Amino acid sequence: MAERKINILICCTGSVAALKIPDIVTRLKQENAWTKRGDPVLHIDLRKWADILVIAPLDANTLAKISHGICDNLLTCVVRAWDLKKPLLFAPAMNTYMWEHPLTREQTDKLEGWGYRQIPVVEKTLICGDKGAGAMAEVSTIVEVILEERGKLLDER
């Protein structure tokens, strides 16, 4: 039987929650879901390579760009070229007032309408000192969702 391998592309945006990326990668390594990091390649090559796309954290700026089709950096170009039959997971992270703005709901609904899966924000005291919803989901939750999607793909193969 051929090796059953699922490639996971982890992307992040300018949110302060990006400091949790090493924790996500470390946990995925512990689960044997992450074995190596490849050399940088073009957005189409990344799209072809990855079986799952994870954007954690997804800040308000990049959420707005993706929902409106703006492709002005590598991440937004990969998303725009993404195969809609493959899982795309996004974990929003932003200030509570940004999270509660009506545009944010419209934009997350649009992404979910395309089949992307949201990993819900949590309520906590944010780095800025505000308390409320908008913080990125816990690392354990993000890893759990990634592993769930990975398992589905492995079951299909």
pLDDT tens per residue across all 157 residues of the chain: 556 788 888 888 888 888 898 899 888 888 877 666 655 556 888 899 899 999 999 999 999 999 999 999 999 999 999 999 999 999 999 999 999 999 999 999 999 999 999 999 999 999 889 999 999 999 999 999 999 999 999 998 7
- Beta strands 88-92 and 52-58 are parallel
What element of type H or E holds 50? none
What Å distances lie between residue 47 and 81, 104, 138, 143, CA to CA? 7, 26, 26, 21
Out of 11, 71, 77, 128, which one is annotated catalytic?
128
- Please name the residues in contact with 8: beta carbons below 8 A apart, sequence gap of 6 or more: 28, 33, 34, 50, 51, 52, 54, 146, 150
Strand-by-strand arrangement of the 88-92 sheet: 8-11, 52-58, 88-92, 117-118
pTM: 0.77
Please confirm, yes or no, whether 77 is among the known catalytic residues.
Answer: no
* Architecture label for domain 10-147: 3-Layer(aba) Sandwich (3.40)
Domain boundaries defined on the chain = 10-147
Cα 129 off chain centre by: 25
- Please name the residues in contact with 154: beta carbons below 8 A apart, sequence gap of 6 or more: 4, 6
Nearest CA among 17, 15, 16, 5 for reference residue 142: 17
pLDDT of res. 2 = 59
